[in-house]
Structures are given as structure tokens and as C-alpha cells.
Amino acid sequence: MDVEEAIRSRRTHKAFAPERVPRELLDELLELARWAPNHHLTNPWRFRVLGPDALAALKHAAGPEAAAKLDRAPTLIAASQVRAEDPEQDEEDLCATACATYAVLLAAHGRGLAGYWRTPDVLRTPVGRAALGIPDDERFVALIHLGRPRQEKEPPERAPQSAVVSYLS
């Protein structure tokens, strides 16, 4: 799959087959994330692949209603950003971490996996962050859900290019 096709055909999925993504494949995806652009090569992203104990702790922190959404995908990866003291660098590092997260989603799609970028409230709380060992000097960015898709997804409507692009003189 070429890059353009991957960008245009990737979809958010919420229905996954039950098999976990193999560790070797996760290693490939996370290795590709390291190539995301980042100013001063700070490598601010951190990825935590949740095992059964971490998932149980996160579900406990989330409470029964929110915990059900954590069971949608067989493989979960928490993405966070190491905070920088300089506000400008911190903003650049947040954007870089978002790029690295998107690289994981695109690479997963290119390998036939489905993905879902979530930002559950529990990971903005001290108890939720502690469940995954996210320290205070890191900012939670995404909880990536990965697995084999159970269904095909149609592309959503997009704003026309003229609504989002301006050419300035």
C-alpha cells in the first residue's frame, strides 16, 4: 500500500477480532513511530503496550461504565509525551508525539490492522495515569486501539479542500 492510499483509506474502527497483535508486529509499528519529525530530535514520545495487569488496573481506575470501552480492541497502546520546561519546545514535542501516534495508525493500516485513537478521561486523572505508570513529567496523548477489523468502513465526508486551504500572497 502506498502512502497516499494509506492516508485516504485508513478508518477509525470500534469492532475488532479478539486476537492480540503479535509482539513482533507491534515492534515494527513502534519502530516506525520513532521516525516521526521532531524539532531538535528530542524523541519526546513514549509508548506503553498494555498487558492484562495494566488493562485491569486501568479498567478499575475508569469505573464500570467507562471500562467497557477499554475491551473493544485486543491490543492497547498508551502514547504520552515527555514534557519540556520550555513552553515552545513542549508544544513542538506534543505535535511530534501526535505525528508518531499517527505513524503507528498508518503503519498498522498498511499491515491490515484496524485502529482507533482515543483520549479517555481516565488517562487525564492521577489514578488512571498511575495505572499505566505515566509519570507527572509526561502528558497523555492517545490510547491507541489496535486489532484485526471485523467490518469494512466507508470513508466519512470531508470538508472540501477550498474550506481548509488558503493560498496567501
Q: Give a yes or no: residue 102 inside a domain.
A: yes
Residue 132 burial (10 A CB sphere; 0-12, 13-18, 19+): buried
Q: Which cell numbers in the block locate residue 25?
A: 508486529
168 has pLDDT over 90 = yes
Residue 95 lies in a domain: yes
The amino acid present at 23, given as its one-letter code, is R
Q: Which residues pair with 159 in a beta bridge?
A: none
1 has a pLDDT exceeding 90: no
Q: Cα–Cα distance between 23 and 26 in angstroms, integer?
A: 5
Task: Please report how the helices 23-33 and 87-110 are oriented relative to each other, as an axis angle in degrees rounded to 10.
Answer: 140
To the nearest whole percent, how much of the chain has pLDDT over 70? 100
Tell me whether residue 67 is in a domain: yes
- 103-147 residue pLDDT tens: 999 999 999 999 999 999 999 999 999 999 999 999 999 999 999
Q: What value does the mean pLDDT take over residues 52-73?
A: 95
Residue 14 has pLDDT above 90, yes or no: no
Q: How far apart are CA 113 and CA 135, in angstroms?
A: 30
Residue 117 or 151, more confident: 117
* Residue 43 host element (H or E): none
Residue 64 is assigned to a structural domain of this protein: yes
43 within some domain = yes
> Does residue 168 fall inside a structural domain?
no
104 close to 144: Cβ distance less than 8 angstroms: yes
Q: What is the CATH number of the domain that holds 148?
A: 3.40.109.10
- Residues 69-90 have a mean pLDDT of 96
User: What pLDDT score does 130 carry?
Assistant: 97
**pLDDT for res 2:** 87
161 in any annotated domain: no
Q: Which residues contact 92 (CB under 8 A, 6 or more apart)?
A: 38, 39, 40, 42
**Contact (Cβ atoms closer than 8 angstroms) between residue 134 and residue 120:** no
What is the band of 91 on the pLDDT scale with cuts at 50, 70, 90?
very high
Within a domain: 90: yes
* Rounded Cα gap, residues 121 and 117, in angstroms: 13
pLDDT band at 4 (very low <50, low <70, confident <90, very high): confident
Host domain of residue 116: 17-152
Task: Report the number of distinct structural domains present in the chain.
Answer: 1
Single out the residue of 82, 94, 98, 79 nearest to residue 146, CA to CA: 79
